[in-house]
Chain A
């Protein structure tokens, strides 16, 4: 019944992908936020995935889970707009927008939801196979 470990692997993938989806959501929500200085404005965040080999599990088989090792802030410069009437404009009349790239975020969202689905499918398949194995010989 070593197939039970597929559930661990798939759920680690689902957790990682849902974190990615959450980060994407917060990026999209803050895409239009502005600030007076480049440092005060929201910066796009990106999760960093890392493969994990569980020591205890590794003795039995080469299974590899995934986890979010870090969430980094995108350091590229954001857009700068001349809008003197804006309440957050600086002395020169400029406001600074966040560096969120909406296209990139949409792609991230689609990729994350597809990966999440494939993890679910994997779990379903493993479940069906296990149920059939349990009812073997009946």
Chain B
């Protein structure tokens, strides 16, 4: 009787721990991945509009937004980039038609962002593999 209740108790306990553990298993990379994918859309919009008169290039401060998202805690994946976090880029060479897209800047940012995304993917992949190893015991 005591053993049974103990067993059930420990079972519930470990179950609860498991859920919270798997929620946070990927740490910051879960958010970084999401942020990088959202940012890649913004940079894609900039590049597509590289020749549109009066288009203003926009971007987010990756570091600041990621820090805010991390500090706010919880799983706020549904909370998208609200317009307040999107900023307009200050061009190095503004053009006469009012367009502030600089293709070289945008392309380098897009490439950097893609590498960041892949880095986050790699970290998550490694975490999955180590978790799988722990679950199967290397069999």
A13 to B48: give the CA distance in the assembly, Å: 5
The interface bits of chain B over 36-55 (1 if a CB of A lies within 8 angstroms of the residue's CB, else 0) are 01101110110111111111
Given A2-B38, A129-B118, the answer on whether A122 and B44 have CB atoms closer than 8 Å is yes
A64 to B128: give the CA distance in the assembly, Å: 35
Find out whether the CB atom of B49 lies under 8 angstroms from the CB atom of A136: no
Counting CB contacts under 8 A, is B7 at the interface? Answer: no
The stretch among A30-38, A84-92, A95-103, A111-119 that forms the contact with chain B is: A111-119
Find out whether the CB atom of B44 lies under 8 angstroms from the CB atom of A10: yes
Find out whether the CB atom of B45 lies under 8 angstroms from the CB atom of A115: no
Find out whether the CB atom of A2 lies under 8 angstroms from the CB atom of B37: yes
Counting CB contacts under 8 A, is A9 at the interface? Answer: yes
Q: Which residues of B contact A122 (CB under 8 A)?
A: 44, 47-48, 110
Find out whether the CB atom of A66 lies under 8 angstroms from the CB atom of B41: no
Band of interface residues on B? 20 to 34
Counting CB contacts under 8 A, is B66 at the interface? Answer: no
What's the dominant secondary structure at chain A's contact region?
helix
Counting CB contacts under 8 A, is A133 at the interface? Answer: yes
Counting CB contacts under 8 A, is B16 at the interface? Answer: no
Given A3-B41, A62-B45, A63-B41, the answer on whether A115 and B125 have CB atoms closer than 8 Å is no
Give the residues from 9 to 51 in chain B that come closer than 8 angstroms, CB to CB, to chain A: 37-38, 40-42, 44-45, 47-51
Find out whether the CB atom of A66 lies under 8 angstroms from the CB atom of B52: yes
Q: Which residues of A contact B45 (CB under 8 A)?
A: 9, 62-65
The closest CB in chain A to the CB of B86 belongs to A62
Counting CB contacts under 8 A, is A106 at the interface? Answer: no
Counting CB contacts under 8 A, is B81 at the interface? Answer: yes
A62 to B57: give the CA distance in the assembly, Å: 11
Counting CB contacts under 8 A, is A94 at the interface? Answer: no
Q: Which residues of A contact B41 (CB under 8 A)?
A: 2-3, 5-6, 9, 61-63
Counting CB contacts under 8 A, is B83 at the interface? Answer: yes
Residues of A within 8 A of B (CB): 2-3, 5-6, 9-10, 12-13, 16-17, 20, 48-51, 60-66, 111, 114-115, 118-119, 121-122, 125-126, 128-129, 132-133, 136-137
